[in-house]
Structure 1
Amino acid sequence: MFNLFKSKTNPIFEEILKTSKEQIKDLENYKTLTPNGKYEVLIFSAYVILNSQDLSGNEKLKYLKFLNGLRKDYQVNLSKNKTFDLISSRIDFIESEFQKQEDSKQYFFPGLYNIFYENPLTDKPQYSTNLPENAKFAIMLSLCIKDLSQ
């Protein structure tokens, strides 16, 4: 009765968010993330989870809008529209990282390392040149991808 004014979040969205936050914790066991870096991991996790689940395009879009609404929790100081543009461009970037990994099994995801740890929320992601860190990161990331894809 007293919860009349609370908005209900889709339980699937809550589960995706919970799983994504677990990945943040796992990646932080490797190396500390800034709040913006954590938001990048949320976007990445959403990409992997949404592509491994049988959700409609409309449901996927609703989740990305839900993710946009979390931006202030992660100190993302972009407008709603700019954040949605960032999410859209990140999805394209993440797809390109996976394609490069598919083309070369020795690929260490230097672009993802850059947006998670070196330069989160940048308009133009770069590729990290820190090869020893990229190699360690790739091992941790592969475990996260496995967990997210289940």
Structure 2
Amino acid sequence: MHRIRIIAILASIIALGIVSCASGAKKQDGRDKYSLVGVWEGIDRTGCLGSFHFYENGRVILVIDGRSLGGSESNGLGTLRYSADYSKNPIELDIIGVDSDGIEHGRILMIVHFLSRDQIKIRTFFNEIRPENFDNENIDDTILLDRVVE
């Protein structure tokens, strides 16, 4: 029950914030390699600003409406990690909820496409199904994000 609650909280928070937050990855076509590491911001269709802070050690902090998730200020809800498979096209990105014992409690499955070195497009269905591509994307499942800090 606790695990379901954590997954539900994570999904709700990310659903609210991802459509106003950030993320990134590497190119796979032989050109310059891009990285998630840095701070990415975006504004969702409701005008809400959010950000993803990706760290080299695999941690990620989400900031949604000024509230931090996945960091030390997360009130004991655990941390967030990310995993990116740069060999896939589009890049597969998972945001992973981890409790204080290091046990995984859910993933949000996403895809990422770099439009430029400092702008990405991400898509998620906010469930256990990862989008395969950006065909038929819409404002509810896809967002553009800009890197504001490398």
| TM-score, structure 2 as length reference | 0.31
Structure with more strand by fraction: 2
Q: Which has the larger radius of gyration?
A: 1
Which has the bigger relative contact order, CA under 8 A and spacing at least 6?
Answer: 1
